[in-house]
Amino acid sequence: MEMRTLHVKINGRDYQVPDGSTILEAASAYANIEIPTLCYLEGISEEGACGVCVVDVKGTRNLPRACLTKVSEGMEIWTNTARVREARKINVELLLANHPTDCFTCERTENCDLRDLASELGVREVEFPRTRTEWLPIDNTSLSLVRDPNKCILCRRCVNVCAKVQSVYAIDIAGRGSNSTVSTFLNEGLGNVECVNCGQCLLVCPTGALTERSEIPDVWKVLGDPDKIVVVETAPAVRVAIGEEFGMPDGTQATGKMAAALRSLGFNKVFDTDFSADLTIMEEGFELIGRIKNGGTLPLITSCSPGWIKFAETFFPGVLDYVSSCKSPQQMFGTVTKTYWAEKMGFDPRKIVVVSVMPCTAKKFEKERPEMKTAFHYWQEKMSLKDEEAFNDVDFVLTTREAARMIREAGIDFANLPDEDFDKPLGESSGAGVIFGATGGVMEAALRTAYEVLTRKSLPRLDFEDVRGLEGMKSATIDIDGTPLRVAIANGLGNARILIEEVQKGESPYQFIEIMTCPGGCLGGGGQPLSNNPDIKKRRAEAIYREDAGKPIRKSHENPEIQEIYKDFLGEPNSEKAHHLLHTTYHDRSGE
């Protein structure tokens, strides 16, 4: 169908714009006018709550919202009249009247949408007094996220992302009028409800109302402790995003600078979660092969994404048998560091501190799961450790943003650092481990290994283009030497829900499903730098695939360090020891 064109006037000039455009879109695309917005998020939060994007339209008494109002034939739009400027300014002032003024110490001090907007609109004084009579308690119940309702301006972006993108519905508006707040079920706090800790709410929050639970002070403390052996692991998606925090172009591969910066912070060893991603592929790939060969439960569903795991435990306990028993790369890393590496180096595991840098807020929750003390159990008998000496496999989780903050605090000129390598042995990885950071990456990495193991042939082409791309759901049929393998990929839990409902009904046509909690996969995780670039995920994904293409080894089973850990320590993939150390269990949270 051909798109009809409408004739409109914007600020006195004639434009032809496609039918169906909003005033906001038309002004931006055709008149080079960026109408300010605050609550609007294209396709996700289109409610017109804030009242900032108002414009003057000839013939209307009120000021319509540019974000919601569609252009019509002959419409005459004025984006900058006195009453428009007055209305925008007053609506922002009304929000500021009740907003805390602790901007100096706010986590969002450098990138607060509200502050930017106030500055853009020339708000130099807030004429209105505070009307709220009390300060609301901060929600500290979550292991991943902190909510400060006092900084909330009720834009509803978080509510809409949680509901529409993630289909989790952990937060909604409670109370009425000037008493309304964003709240959880019975105001129990994020830690006590169905929240999966994905942090997508934080990414869209225009103020400092949502932040990660920071572990920076803990990490500084251990870095300063000479008795500790502090190692850091970095997830694949971090290296293609952390550069943004230092003004580097979007999609910069900052792997070498990141390694250098972390070493400069004082970490004793700079390792790579990509190593344990390769390990995950060995375990999960062989689990898939086993299930296919032995007629096991199919489809096999990936388990790397802790938000997805809690989502399944909460909403779909019936599908937990389908989910791979493999721990996530972060957790496998912690375990092998405190068992294999400790043993190899002759270190007391109690002295090793594992810090992970993750694009993710849910990882902070994951590391605290009671199952994730495998290394302690491994050593308990050998070293006759008491129960109260129990330690986590992973001690601290920093988001990409937190890591960048530490680097800034240490005065490290990140962008100009000479590139450095990861330390060995746990820093060695293949391209397959790298692509974990993008949606479809785990699938592709697993296919590279499964194909070769199943067929005993070398892959003719390494790139599985069918499983790449940022679409929310993808499916493909992979030809494994004549045997078709039907696979599907979902990123964003709203999309995952669709695939999983099929599995629950026993109607899934697939043998292997990859699920990532966040849109775009880990590269779009809740721990990543905040960005205003609508193409940011695309840029980061391109960088990830460039990183893969540049790797000398691109298949997990060909990583020599992986081969060595199996030879020296684990035995075979899915061996009893591997099961003991690298696999985990899930539990039904639907009644919680």
Partner 1 sequence: MIRNQLLICAGGACITSGEKSVKDVLVEELAKNGIQDEVQIIETGCMGACDLGPIVVVYPEGTFYQKVTPQNAGPIVSEHLVKGRVVSGLLYRQPTSETRAQTREEISFYTLQVKRVLRNCGVIDPLSIEEYIARDGYFGLGKALEIGPDAIIQTIQESGLRGRGGAGFPTGIKWKAARDASGSPKYVVCNGDEGDPGAFMDRSVLEGDPHSVIEAMVIAGFAIGAATGYVYVRAEYPLAIERLEVALTRAREYGFLGRNILGSGFDFDIEIRIGAGAFVCGEETALLRSIEGKRGMPSAKPPFPAQAGLWGKPTLINNVETYANVPPILINGAEWFRSVGTAKSPGTKVFALAGKVQNTGLVEVPMGTTLRELVFDIGGGIPGGKAFKGAQTGGPSGGIITADYLDMPIDFDSVKELGTIMGSGGLIILDEDNCMVDVAKFYLAFTVDESCGKCTPCREGTKQMYQIMERITDGKGTPNDIGKLKTLGRVIQQTSLCGLGQSAPNPVLSTIRFFPDEYRAHIEDRKCPAHACLHLLTYSVVSEKCVGCTACARQCPVQAITGQVKKAHVIDQATCIKCGSCYEVCRFDAILKE
- Would you please indicate which residues are annotated as catalytic (active-site) residues? 284, 287, 304, 324, 363, 366, 371, 522
Applying CB under 8 A, which part among 89-97, 361-369, 420-428, 472-480 lies near partner 1? Answer: 89-97
Q: How far is the CB of 162 from partner 1 (least distance, A)?
A: 15
How many residues comprise the chain? 592
180 near partner 1, judged by CB under 8 A: yes
To partner 1, the closest distance from the beta carbon of 130 in angstroms equals 10
Q: How far is the CB of 59 from partner 1 (least distance, A)?
A: 14
User: Which residues neighbour 176 within 8 Å (Cβ) at sequence distance 6 or greater?
Assistant: none
- Helices (H) and strands (E) in the chain — how many of each? 20, 16
In the complex, what is the shortest distance from the CB of residue 70 to partner 1, in angstroms, rounded to a whole number?
A: 7
Q: Is the peptide bond before 425 cis (omega within 30 degrees of 0)?
A: yes
Rule CB under 8 A: choose which of 54, 193, 493, 553 binds partner 1.
54
Residue indicated by tokens 């491994």 = 378
Which residue's structure tokens are 């937060």?
171
List 31, 49, 442, 562, residue binding partner 1 (CB under 8 A): 49
Which pair of tokens denotes residue 259? 């390694």
Binding footprint of partner 1, residue count (CB under 8 A): 38
Is residue 282 part of the contact set for partner 1 (CB under 8 A)?
no
CB of 130 or CB of 351, closer to partner 1: 130
Choose, by CB under 8 A, the member of 5, 81, 119, 178 that binds partner 1: 178
Least CB distance from residue 38 to partner 1, whole Å? 9
x/- map, 314-343, partner 1, by CB under 8 A: ------------------------------
Rounded distance, CA 355 to CA 351, Å? 13
240 backbone dihedrals φ, ψ, rounded to 5°: -95, 5
CB nearer partner 1, residue 154 or residue 292: 154
Whether the CB-CB separation of 280 and 430 falls below 8 Å is answered with: no
Residue at token pair 């509510």:
159
Residue nearer to partner 1 on the CB measure, 172 or 343: 172
| Binding letters toward partner 1, positions 155-174, x by CB under 8 A | -x---------------xx-
Say which residues have a Cβ less than 8 Å from residue 345's Cβ, sequence separation at least 6.
none
Q: Which residues contact 398 (CB under 8 A, 6 or more apart)?
A: 215, 216, 219, 355, 356, 357, 358, 406
Contact flags string 348-367 toward partner 1, x per CB under 8 A: --------------------
Enumerate long-range contacts of 464-473, CB under 8 Å, 24 or more apart: 464/440, 467/440, 467/443, 467/514, 468/438, 468/440, 468/444, 468/541, 468/545, 469/439, 469/440, 470/439, 470/519, 470/520, 470/537, 470/538, 470/541, 472/519, 473/498, 473/499
Residue with tokens 């499916």: 475
Stretch that binds partner 1, among 175-183, 484-492, 530-538, 539-547 (CB under 8 A): 175-183
Q: How far is the CB of 183 from partner 1 (least distance, A)?
A: 12
Stretch that binds partner 1, among 63-71, 329-337, 456-464, 505-513 (CB under 8 A): 63-71
Return the range that interacts with partner 1 (CB under 8 A); candidates 60-68, 211-219, 241-249, 388-396: 60-68
Least distance between partner 1 and beta carbon 155 (Å): 9
**How many other C-beta atoms can be found within 10 angstroms of the C-beta atom of residue 218?**
15
Q: H or E segment at 184?
A: strand 181-184
Sequence letter at residue 194: E
Of 70 and 589, CB closest to partner 1: 70
Stretch that binds partner 1, among 48-56, 226-234, 283-291, 351-359 (CB under 8 A): 48-56
Beta bridge partners of 146: 211
User: Binding partner 1 by CB under 8 A: which of 7, 83, 221, 457?
Assistant: 83
Residues 525-564 that bind partner 1 (CB under 8 A): none
Which residue lies nearer to partner 1 by CB, 130 or 457? 130
**How near is the Cβ of 558 to partner 1 at its closest, in Å?**
53
- In the numeric block, the tokens 């064109």 are attached to 5
- Measure the CA–CA gap between 395 and 235, rounded to whole angstroms: 15
Tokens (6 digits) for 207 = 């103020």
Q: Rank residues 173 and 415 by Cβ distance to partner 1 and give the closer one.
A: 173
Site string for partner 1, 104-143 (x = CB under 8 A): -----------------------xxx-x------------
What is the C-alpha separation between 587 and 39, in angstroms, rounded?
A: 37
> Can you give the binding site for partner 1, defined by CB under 8 A?
47-52, 54, 61-63, 65, 68-70, 83, 86-87, 90-91, 94-95, 97-98, 127-129, 131, 153-154, 156, 172-173, 175-180
